[in-house]
A and B are shown apart, each in its own frame.
Chain A
Amino acid sequence: MLQGNNLECMRGDRVLFSGINFSIKPGELMQVRGPNGSGKTSLLRMLCGLAVPNSGEVSWNGSDIRSLGEDYYSVITYLGHLSGVKDDLTTIENLCITSALAGVEIDKKTACEILQKMGLEKREALLAKVLSQGQKRRVALARLLLVQTKLWILDEPLTALDVSAIELIKNIIERYLAQGGMVILTTHQEINITATVTHQLYLS
């Protein structure tokens, strides 16, 4: 269970948000909404441990994530604005390396199958720099099919994706939620994801 207690974020002396409280249990979804510049990305970076809240704490099963360190990183998957796809590596190399970094070592055959599921067949041996933005995003999202973590933190996962890819991601997230996963995501698009409980968090 992930809990945020009284989280506050400052940019210079401006308070971006404060007093954010929430808790998410297995099978639940939290959508973070708010206009540009309201601190959605800052909040998500706090939740995955990349940034430290100015006050308050984020806790996983009751303990502060700062003290858990790598034990916490092994149960979460974070997908940020920057997709982490290397232009000079092929699609398949990108997937193998990012999933190895996430602790799942896969062979080329598995990687090919995953890329096919993401609609990237015949693109396996291409350098990522020749792919379109949407295709790069698909490569980054392919990791979701491999990792076995308990919490996904997705920052704008749907940017640059076409309708069929959005549908695909929606299905992946729904299946994951049904299996007891937790998802926190930000998106500007309207998307209806079925979950047992959907929390809405508004930042203004």
Chain B
Amino acid sequence: MSNENSVMTKEPAKAPETKAPKAPRRGHRLGGSRVGHNIIIAILCVIWLIPIVWLVCMSFSAGDGMYVASFFPKQWSVSHYVKLFQPDTVNQFPRWFLNTFKIAVFNCIIQTCFVLMVAYATSFGKFKARKPLMNVAVMLNLFPGVLTMIAVYFLLREFGLTNSHFGLLLVYSASSGLGYLICKGFFDTVPRALCEAARIDGCNEAKIFTRIVIPTSRPIIVYTIINAFLAPWMDFVFAKMILNAGISSQYTVAVGLYAMLEKSLINSYFTIFCCGGILVSIPIAILFFIMQKFYVEGVTAGSVKG
């Protein structure tokens, strides 16, 4: 783990060193273009943030509707946030948040385990069925998931698992092993010499997996965890299908917020929808900021060899 860190800190530190000598040469020209360069970036960032800023504005505006005449609200208010936490028949945001959080945490655990397991088996395993299995996985990934939804629904219903969070969890996590490619790509870069050495020391495969490969794979684990954690917050198609009894307190955040935009409700709930959207984004954003470094590393290493 420690060598992982040092590698990371080394890279950026090295970069300026090599480029430093050149800076003075073009120094006189750089002044102007440097300002321009940063202005371009600033403009891009502003463009990218406009809708998000609008989301924030709408959530703090005193009015209700979604069709407002000005970008910034005429009156600011936190009343919609207050309403968000006062559950009524339509809005049960605190419950939805807990539901989704619960599903997300379990999905995180199962999906991460599955992905790591499949990735290890396909990257380190040396068995005959390895290639055929991987080819089958590629094929399966080509089928659009939405299409198989109805079949998945009836399967779950026969198991008595519709309208339960467990059923929804199964939908998210059960076939998550198919998303192993990026993780496998990362595992392919783990030096095999390390494993050989461990094997000579008498470690069995299970020990190599848990003691050697997992500890050196923090970036890809973080990447997998983030993705697994996010899925339940993003999906509404499957959630709407599985949680079809119309019991609002069972909903996940996505289904609940989506329902607020129904034509008969949108006028009174659009701003509350915005508040909900922001509150959901905050934990995800924090997660992202903390883990960004690993996330980048994980996805990079994975996609390089995936």
A binds B: no
| Interface set of A (CB-CB < 8 Å, partner B) | none
| Interface set of B (CB-CB < 8 Å, partner A) | none
